[in-house]
Structure 1
């Protein structure tokens, strides 16, 4: 089963609409997000049926994240982190780990978190890895930190981390669990929105990891293969938010605001173009060997989001600034402000692209 653009299970859609404000402003509903997403069958999008999913490929998961993010970016953010971790298992040679963890992840009973933001910046030469390992028997002992990770559900989570081999060159990808001795989750970070996302920091001190918990032994070779899914799924949040802002703006056009019809149509066409480029690039696998076009899509989508909420504001006028009628717009404005800083941020992506252009020149 694949998800048609913008469609969701009616029960899930209704729950997201009813709780979008609380998911943004409060942390109380956070424990409900994954079970609701699982009941709506979106967590299984793009997961092979042989692994308990609904089939399709990663583009179906991108569409599912977009459909959720149209109604709640907080829920879409949780979904992205969870689905990224699932993707790591799908692309891991560690079949035993995949078979052990996928059932609970797909059912929303336990959370999956992508702690690889640091690794993606490391891959682009932007920073060093923040977790290091020393050998211990057949496994390793880990020390370090993950300063910002989403979907660290206190009731139970697994988080992927890139780990340097200590004194040796290279790195690997490990899966850590909430109950590993020496792993400490901080209190939720004090975000100005997107609060029901279980976003926190992780301190790692003397955490023992057996070889069975290694997702990939060679991070340098594996990360470029999984990066398209990491960023592509992330783009789903921007796509969903842009769609919703454009729809809200179109609903307001009239009463002297017909001059916005043309820029709305132009922006919708630009969004469709970027969606098509993302879908085609993910399906062809070209982003695994050529990352810059994917970076450019991520940047373009962020710019489209900013323009879309700007047009929504213009179309709604002063009503958007009233706390009652403008509540949905205010939430989307905050959501749009988050898009440029999601790791890798637009500044980081532009820095990498500029360095590549300078090197080529």
Structure 2
């Protein structure tokens, strides 16, 4: 792919033709470059770095993250729907890669919503174009904010920034030249918390291999150790995070719908393919492809409506976001389960798509915020 990403500004609303072009290019990359790698990604843990960079060049990571210097960009400049659609196209072929796309999208989302103009000017466009790849690093902080875990990173102020120490057990889409988001507490400052972007190649930052997964092994998921790692002020996203986290949380969650939508659409295709020769017996299964198509259409309408107002501060809006994400995870597992039943033994072989989809689908339900965390969040908000 030689297409160059064109970042939006406040006054540059992307035309429908450009959006169609972006999605067409993403489709071509998914079919031509990604599809042949799927088994190696799944069975050998291959990281599709060239695909990730090509997707960035095609514009997949930039539409929801305008790196404008304006202090209050128009909400219309944050096109989450196109980002979700692009991710879902990738997810139809490979959820591992779609998850990496979400990691990249989340990192771009953090930077675009920061008040750090230098970060938006320097690193932001490189992340949005795929020149720089990276992860989210917010699994532990998101759990910490809802009382599930303690925050694992602590920092102290030093000249020009902070020194941060601690360990994050699961951070994905990483490499020696990648970046990732972090949140750390400042003991002695009344539990003040700071969010920043860390560089994997920085002194004091170490990435190490983690356990093998049953799926998603091609996501470059590592444990991160920070030992007095220097985080310059130029890399700070928010200090403190009190007003910043509510701004990014809905987009962070809604973007994950792209993984689910791609998964579900792929499973519908598998069920329909199986029906070409097994319809005489598959018709007796209680859940049919059309049932999931209707469900998917309804979920897409809800998510895309929510994606138009990602900065809505109301409790009612956030409850809808949580419920939409919960429904997407549940539907992913249900669709993959039924794809396996429809395919039967054909889907149960080592290279069978149905069994791969079933393994991948559980990740949609357990990635932060996981099904159990989403239900806890609803309970905490009085909406369980």
- TM-score w.r.t. the length of structure 2 is 0.85
CA offsets per residue over residues 192-220 of structure 1, 9 Å max, x none?
Answer: 22112111011011112222111111212
Q: Does the alignment pair 1:300 with 2:323?
A: no
Partner SS, residue 46 of structure 1: coil
**Deviation at residue 287 of structure 1 after TM alignment:** 5.3
**Deviation at residue 138 of structure 1 after TM alignment:** 4.1
* Change in 2 beyond 3 A, CA 1:288/1:151: farther
Give 2:227's match in structure 1, choosing from 197, 205, 209: 205
Partner of 1:313: 340
* Change in 2 beyond 3 A, CA 1:263/1:300: same
Name the CA distance, whole Å, in 1 between partners of 2:67 and 2:106: 18
Structure 1 regions of 5+ residues with no counterpart? none
**Deviation at residue 95 of structure 1 after TM alignment:** 1.2
* Change in 2 beyond 3 A, CA 1:126/1:49: closer
Partner of 1:328: 353
**Deviation at residue 26 of structure 1 after TM alignment:** 2.0
Matching of residues 212-223 of structure 1 within 5 Å: 212-223=234-245
Partner SS, residue 98 of structure 2: helix
**Deviation at residue 286 of structure 1 after TM alignment:** 6.4
Partner SS, residue 380 of structure 2: helix
* Change in 2 beyond 3 A, CA 1:262/1:200: closer
CA offsets per residue over residues 46-102 of structure 1, 9 Å max, x none?
Answer: 344869xxx760121111111111111011011100110001111011011111113
CA offsets per residue over residues 134-158 of structure 1, 9 Å max, x none?
Answer: 111242211112110111123x111
**Deviation at residue 332 of structure 1 after TM alignment:** 0.6
Q: Does the alignment pair 1:34 with 2:52?
A: yes
Name the CA distance, whole Å, in 1 between partners of 2:21 and 2:50: 24
Asked if 2 retains the 8 angstrom alpha-carbon contact of 1:12 and 1:36, the reply is no
Q: Does the alignment pair 1:124 with 2:108?
A: no
Structure 2 regions of 5+ residues with no counterpart? 1-17, 70-76
Partner of 1:115: 137
- CA-based RMSD of the aligned residues comes to 2.4
Partner SS, residue 180 of structure 2: strand
Name the CA distance, whole Å, in 2 between partners of 1:225 and 1:266: 35
Partner of 2:195: 173
Partner of 1:162: 183
Name the CA distance, whole Å, in 1 between partners of 2:140 and 2:19: 32
CA offsets per residue over residues 195-248 of structure 1, 9 Å max, x none?
Answer: 121110110111122221111112121111101111111121011101110121
Name the CA distance, whole Å, in 2 between partners of 1:26 and 1:275: 33
Asked if 2 retains the 8 angstrom alpha-carbon contact of 1:86 and 1:112, the reply is no
Give 1:233's match in structure 2, choosing from 236, 255, 261: 255
Name the CA distance, whole Å, in 2 between partners of 1:16 and 1:353: 37
* Change in 2 beyond 3 A, CA 1:11/1:274: closer
* Change in 2 beyond 3 A, CA 1:311/1:171: same
Partner SS, residue 168 of structure 2: strand
Asked if 2 retains the 8 angstrom alpha-carbon contact of 1:189 and 1:199, the reply is no
Name the CA distance, whole Å, in 2 between partners of 1:242 and 1:287: 28
Asked if 1 retains the 8 angstrom alpha-carbon contact of 2:264 and 2:332, the reply is yes
